[in-house]
Amino acid sequence: MGSASFLKKAQALLRVRNQLARECLAELLSVFVLMLITLSGSAQMVTTSETKGNYLSAYLAGALAIMVAIHTGGGVSGAHLNPAYSFAMCLLEQFPWWKFPIYVAVQTLGSFIAAGAVYFLYYDAIWHYSNGTLTTSGPRETASIFATYPADYVSIANGFLDQVIGTGMLILGVLAITDTRNKPVPKGLESVAVALLVLSIEVSMGANCGCPMNPARDFGPRLFTYVAGWGAEVFRWVEGQGQGGGWQ
């Protein structure tokens, strides 16, 4: 009886009543879950030299991660997960502009924290694989675990076009899936449909730049690698740097 009373008091004390705060916490947790799984898929691929994972398994991890992330916070924040999606919702007048910078900041923070969690989860593997040197290029680079990098042959213009088309396809697909006036997805399976959409884009458009399609997904972890020891090279294109696995 005493234990039940204590739990009720704790729940009442920890309950967040402010709606915006609830949305921010839900979005933060959703992005954290998404990125924890996505980056772990990349870490497993890179640190084992693709003996326990490859690009397909990394893409699959990212696609399934979005399904989990949507269920994690979709009922509270809408599980935007992506500044590009939040921006599209603002343009369609389905999301207030004043919330846009708040959501972008929360999404980026969630990605940053998740990158830190993956770094510590794979700490021994990263340092063993890299021979004790955190680099952004070369045969033992590990920066691509966290952020995406263009292939050597991709120009800035082609990379920009790659992201415009990939992100546009993502937004178009999500809007089609969630449009109640369209041929509906069976109720409860919307997250599965979005995950399959993401996977289809990844396996068809991932060769150029790793298919990030999400500013927060890329910038948050990239910022983490900068402060964690990879240095300013993470913000510069380096020949031979390769590309990391990524979703959305």
* pLDDT tens track for 169-215: 999 999 999 888 888 788 889 999 999 999 999 999 988 888 888 99
pLDDT of residue 227: 95
Residue 89 has pLDDT above 80, yes or no: yes
The whole-number pLDDT of residue 7 equals: 64
Assign 10 to helix, strand or coil. helix
19-235 has which fold? Glycerol uptake facilitator protein (1.20.1080)
Question: Which pLDDT score, from 0 to 100, does residue 240 have?
Answer: 44
CB 63 within 8 A of CB 247: yes
Nearest to 219 by CA among 119, 98, 114: 114
Residue carrying the six token digits 């939040």: 86
* 19 pLDDT higher than 50: yes
pTM for this model (two decimals):
0.89
Mean pLDDT across 102-114? 97
Written as six digits, the tokens of 195 are 């995950």
Per-chain mean pLDDT for the chain: 88
Maximum Cα–Cα distance across the chain:
67
Average pLDDT, integer, range 4-17: 64
Q: Is the dihedral of CA 58, 64, 67, 68 positive or negative?
A: negative
Q: Give the angle subtended at the CA of 212 by the CAs of 211 and 213, to the nearest 5°.
A: 95
DSSP E strand stretches across 106-208? none
C-alpha–C-alpha distance, residues 84 and 111, integer Å? 15
Q: Which residue has the higher pLDDT, 247 or 177?
A: 177
